[in-house]
Amino acid sequence: MELLIVKDYDELSRKAAEIVADELKSNPRIVLGLPTGATPLGMYRELIEMYKEGKISFKDVITFNLDEYEGLSKEDPNSYYRFMNDNFFSHIDIKEENTNIPDGMAVDIERECREYEDKIAKSGGIDFMILGIGNNGHIGFNEPAEFFPGFTHRVKLAESTIQANSRFFDSIDHVPRYALTMGIKSIMHSKKIMLLASGKAKAEAIKGALQGPITPKLPASVLQLHRHLIVIVDEEAGALLE
Ligand code: F6R
């Protein structure tokens, strides 16, 4: 594991973007796994800047997002589809057909999950997966559980996740209770993984994930088993690390 402890969120965003840009330059047809949420926003902004300055291009890049809320349409301002378009895809030269996000409105959710997984496999698998981490240690929407879930699946969100994510919604009642998410196997099959965490609310999850026992009760702890893991935390998120 390569651990980088940086000063603050801005430095984390710059460092993360630099690493993605280097990966992209060495493989212009890279398959990226992407997160939503507050953590990667700065990294997306930095990557957009680099694109505008002509330093990188996404024209042959393929992306797979980690997750999507069940029941939110592509137009819904809180859907991850909208999030990705508003915050990243619409500002770069990526081809729309090369961007993939699970369909939260699929009539047959199980089929959607199977097909999503097939599509990842057909693209040759994920080369570089970028992850945030929940306050409870979730990655994607793999919530603390008694076992590690396998491939893309439907999940009931933990109360703490509903609470944490309600900051993006008008009211907590509007936060969907279910989501579609890549599973732990989908994530662990990625060739490289980069985990990002910022702020003191993440300090305990980061401590457990990197230095605690490997347990599905803290899903991110499984990342200790990955052979090519980069972790970038700012000083607050890394405050409890030894
Ligand atoms: C989002 C995702 C989640 C977030 C996590 C942290 O696609 O997969 O695991 O990365 O909930 O969210 P933020 O960055 O908002 O703290």
Q: Which residue is closest in CA terms to ligand 1's atom 3? A: 140
Question: Hey, where are the domains in the chain?
Answer: 2-234
Is the CB–ligand 1 distance for residue 218 below 6 Å?
A: no
d(CA 177, CA 84) in angstroms, rounded, equals: 21
In this prediction, residue 21 has a pLDDT band, given cuts at 50, 70 and 90, of very high
Closest CA relative to residue 131, chosen from 212, 2, 229? 229
Tokens found for residue 32: 């990226």
pLDDT in tens, 45-75: 999 999 999 999 999 999 999 999 999 999 9
Catalytic residue among 68, 112, 117, 138: 138
Dihedral of CA 119/123/124/127: which sign?
A: negative
CATH class name, domain 2-234:
alpha beta
What average pLDDT does the segment 131-151 reach?
96
Is 39 touching ligand 1 by the criterion CB < 6 Å?
yes
**pLDDT tens, residue by residue, 206-219:** 999 999 999 999 99
Average pLDDT across the chain, whole number: 97
The type of residue at 90 is: S
Query: Does ligand 1 lie within 6 Å of residue 38's CB atom?
Result: yes
* CA dist., res. 20 & res. 130, Å (int): 9
To test ligand 1's pocket by mutation, which of 126, 138, 161 has the most ligand atoms within 8 angstroms of CB? 138
What's this model's pTM, rounded to 2 decimal places? 0.97
Distance between CA atoms of 218 and 143, rounded to whole angstroms? Answer: 8
Percent of the chain with pLDDT over 70: 100
